[in-house]
Amino acid sequence: MTQQPGSSTAAHPDQPVTTGTRAEPDRPVDAGTRAEPDQPVDAAATDVDRKQPVDAGRADERATTDGPGVTAAPGAPGALLLAVLAAGWLTAMLWSTRAAIDSAQAGVTAISLSAYALPGVISAALVAGAGIALAVTNLLTRRGADRATLRFVVAVGAGLLVGSATAVAINLFYADNATTNVIAGSTAAAAVVGGALAGARNAPVVGAVVTGTLAVLVFVVAFSQLRDRLFVLYGGEGTQEAMVDAARWVSRTESLAAGLLAGLLAFGYLRLARRRALRRDPDAPAGRWPGYLVAGAGAGLLLLLTEVIIRIGGRSLLDLAGALSEADAVAQTTLGTSRIDNGIWVLFVGALTALIAFGRTLGPAPAADDEEDADGASAAT
């Protein structure tokens, strides 16, 4: 006599298993029962089969963990402070240039002074455009909108706003002469270029470049107070040849000190960014030497880029200043060559300084220890 379905007695081998009973081998399992080996598993038993779909809550958690918060490029520390300092430096350079031009009693003198002041204004606009654009793109990074195209467009837009505001300020507050439009246009172009540079993906490297360049610009102004003393120290009070040699040594001393300052500050900035990244994510990848190389050389690169903008955008002003007299022409040529030499020195000294400082932080290579462990394991076997 066979048992009826739903009976409290155990099922015979040729009968189906009802809910609540334990399945024998090679029998289908009802929902809610525990699966034995070689048995099909119901969709509810997701812990048994690894190929079952993941729960919605777990999927959301995984998306949050592996999402933009981890893969997004890290922001630049202190970007807002850099933007404020760069904007302040640009304002100071614009004010000093305006004061120098207004103090001139003749138009010829105003043209000459404008040509002398143009490099300082353009370099300040380049750094200000990069610093302010970096602060704006940092906000995008914090909000998760860190796509490369969007970052670059926003950075260029920020540089364009800085350049437009600077050009408007120059036209409003400077004297209306032949040099005003040249200074305004060149300054606006420099700010746009600086904003485009800030659109690079590696924000900490951009921040290090802005930091080093801003420090170099301030250092050059401060070094001018020591230039006469060093000129005498290097024997510049003798013959004409001695004066030329002394001037060359003063220029080399300035470039060497500026390069060391740029390289050390770039290295320190990247180390600060590294520590911040480790506090947020202990598994954050370590910085590589190309980043330190670019950061250390960045100040020199921006100085050379400033010279390119001067020779393209400010060519008419330089030609006007050089046409005033033969001495002015020689002076403009000499100053241009000196600026190029200074940029090259700052570039190489800064890059070398940053690389040496980075190399001193590296530990010994683990290859020797791994070989010893491998030899010990092979000997033991």
Residue numbers in the chain where pLDDT is lower than 50: 1-72, 368-369
DSSP symbol at 56? H
CA distance 133 to 135: 5
In a domain, 28, yes or no: no
The whole-number pLDDT of residue 255 equals 94
121 falls within a domain: yes
User: Of 315, 282, 302, 278, which is closest to residue 350 (Cα–Cα)?
Assistant: 302
Quote the pLDDT of residue 271: 93
For residue 257 the two structure tokens come to: 């000190």
**Structural domain includes residue 223:** yes
What was the pLDDT predicted at 370? 52
The reported pLDDT for the residue numbered 155 is 95
Does any domain span residue 143? yes
**Is residue 1 helix, strand or coil?**
coil
Establish if 47 belongs to a structural domain: no
Residue 194 and residue 110: Cα distance in Å, rounded? 28
1 inside domain: no
Buried b or exposed e, range 32-56, using 16+ CB within 10 angstroms: ebeeeeebebbeebeeeeeeeeeee
DSSP 221: H
79 within some domain: yes
Q: Which residue has the tokens 């040699």?
A: 245
Task: Classify 173 as helix, strand or coil.
Answer: helix
Q: Which domain, by its residues, includes 161?
A: 72-359
Q: What is the pLDDT of residues 53-80, one digit of tens each?
A: 434 333 333 333 334 333 445 678 999 9
- Taking only Cα atoms into account, the Rg of the chain, rounded to an integer number of angstroms, comes to 34
Q: Taking the C-alpha atoms of 311, 187, 215 and 273 in order, what is their torsion angle to the nearest 10 degrees?
A: -110
- Does residue 30 come out as left (phi exceeding 0), alpha (psi in the -120 to 50 range) or beta? beta
pLDDT for residue 193: 96
- pTM exceeding the 0.85 threshold for the entire prediction: no
Give the tens place of pLDDT for each residue, 333-342.
Answer: 888 999 999 9
Phi, psi of 370 (to 5 degrees): -65, -40
Q: DSSP 3-state assignment of 136?
A: helix
pLDDT at residue 326, rounded to an integer: 87
Rounded Cα distance between 65 and 135, Å, is 26
- The amino acid occupying position 86 is A
Domain assignment present for 336: yes
- Tell me what pLDDT residue 153 has: 94
Domain count, the chain: 1
